[in-house]
Chains A and B, each alone.
With several copies, the nearest count.
Chain A
C-alpha cells in the first residue's frame, strides 16, 4: 500500500491537478482528516461490524462468545501492534522478510513525524485497524467449539508470525513490494492470509457437533445483515483510506469498492433464486462481503468497469467455493472465511493485473510492466503467502494446543453453548 498506493496516488494526481507545491513533503490537513476518519471506519468494521456479522450466524447460545472473541482479539492485536507488530511490518527491513524492532512501542513515531503527507502516527493507527480486523476475520472458522484461551494464544501468535511479516513483504518495503506486487488494500495481506489460515484451523479443530446435517441455522440474520452493512460502510475507509490521501484516487477506490459489492450481492441473489427458488438475506449480504474482499487488492488500481467485473466474478465463484468447502470437502469452516475472504482475495489479487489496464478504465501497470509479468508477480505473492500462512498456522495451533491442553471445548460445553460455559453470560433474557 505504502509503495503502490503512492504510485497510484502519483498516477492519479500527476500533471492534471495543480498540486500545492508542498504536497508530498508537508502535512496535508485534508489527507490527514480523511485518514483519521478512515481509521475510525476500519475500526468500525471490526467493532461492531464483523462481530455482529458473525454473531448473527451462530446459535443463540454462542452469540456472546463470538462478540467476545472479536473484542478480545481487537484489544490484544492493538497492544501487540504497538509493542512489536508495527515495527515488524514497517521497521527497517531485514533482508526484505521482516521489519526490525526499531519502531517497537511506536518509538520515533511522534506526532510531528510525517509519512508522506500525513503524520506517521495516523498511518500507524490506520495500519493498526488492519491488524485488528485480520485475525478477527478468522473467528468465522472456529465458532462454538474453540477454547477462549486457545483463541487468544493463537490469534496473538498469528498476528506476529503471519500477519506482520506478510504485511512487511507487501507494504513495508519487503521483497514483494520490491518486485512490484499490487495489493492496494489487502487482498494478499488481509484476505489470503486469513482465508487459508481459517481452513487449516477448521481442519485441525474438527467440525461442530452434528455438522453438516444437524447444525442450527443462523439465529439472527438481521444481526448479520446489520454487521454486513457496517462492514460495507467501513470498507470505504479500508479501501479509500489505503490511498493515504483525500483525492480522486481515493474517490475512485470507493467507487470500485461500492460497485463490486453491489454487483456481487446481485449475482449471489440471482444464483440462489435460480438454484433454490428464493434469494435469502444471508446470501445477499454474503455476496456483499465477497465482492468487497475481492475488490480490495484492486480497488485503487482499476476503474468502475473493473469493479463490475470483479463483483460479478466474486458473487459466482465465492458462492460455489462455499458449496465445495462445506459439502464436497466437508470442512466446517463454519462461517466460510476461506470461501468468501480467501477465495475472493486471491481472485482479486490475480485479476488486478488485467483489470488495472487502461482499456478496463484502470490506472495502468507500473512503468514497463506487462500483464503476464505482473500476473507472475501476483501469483508468486499469493502462492508464497498461502504456504507461509498455512504452515505457520499449523505450527501455531500445535503450540497453542500444547499450551491450553487441547484446542477444543468438551461436548457438554459445546451443547450448553460457549456463552454460559466460557463467559458465564446468556445472550437474550427476554422473558418476564
Chain B
C-alpha cells in the first residue's frame, strides 16, 4: 500500500474528492495547511504597518491506496487540481507497511 500526500489549492478539495471517488478511492483525510513555495504570499497593511504573509492557505489530502491504484490516483489529482497557476501544489508518494481498520480490526488492503 502507498500513502499519497497531495497539497492543493483549497477550492480544489471538493472536485478532487469527487474525482477520486469515481476512480474507486474509498476514503481520504484532508487538513488545512499553510504552504510556502514559489507562489508569493501577500502583504496586509494595518494603520500603515505592513505584515508580509509568507504562507498561503492550502489543503493537504492524505490517502492510503493499494499499489496498483497509485498511477491513476496521481493522474486524477493532477488533472483535477491543476489550474496552471503557480501554487497548484505537489503530490508525494510514500510506502505504507501496515494498515488496520479500527472498527473491525481488518488489516492490509481490506482496511482501506
Contacts and interface: CB of A to CB of B under 8 A. Distances in A.
- Direct contact between the two chains A and B in their complex (CB within 8 A): yes
A75 interface: no
B10 A217 contact: no
B45 interface: yes
B49 A278 contact: no
Contact of A280 (B32, B46, B59): B46
Contact of A425 (B44, B57, B59): B44
B45 A424 contact: yes
Contacts of A420: 42, 44
Interface string B41-69: 01111111101010001010000000000
Contact of B45 (A216, A276, A319, A336): A276
A323 interface: yes
Contacts of A336: 47
B64 to A, nearest CB: 22
A215 B48 CA distance: 13
B11 A278 contact: no
Interface size bucket, B side?
10 to 19
B48 A323 contact: yes
Given A420-B42, A424-B43, A424-B44, A215 B49 contact: yes
Contacts of B11: 415, 432
Interface in B24-53: 32, 42-49, 51, 53
A278 B14 CA distance: 26
Nearest to A323: B48
Interface in A193-250: 212, 214-218
Contacts of B49: 212, 215, 326-327
A18 interface: no
A10 B11 CA distance: 60
A276 B53 CA distance: 16
A426 B57 CA distance: 12
Contacts of B46: 217-218, 280, 282-283, 425
A322 B32 contact: no
B34 to A, nearest CB: 8
12 contacts: A217-B46, A276-B45, A278-B45, A280-B46, A282-B46, A283-B47, A322-B48, A323-B48, A424-B43, A425-B44, A425-B46, A432-B59
Interface of A: 212, 214-218, 272, 276, 278, 280, 282-283, 286, 319, 322-323, 326-327, 336, 415, 420, 424-426, 431-432
Given A420-B42, A431-B32, 14 more contacts: A212-B49, A215-B49, A272-B45, A276-B45, A278-B45, A282-B46, A326-B48, A327-B48, A415-B11, A424-B42, A424-B44, A432-B11, A432-B32, A432-B57
Q: 3 tightest CB-CB pairs across the interface, nearest first?
A: A432-B10, A217-B51, A432-B57
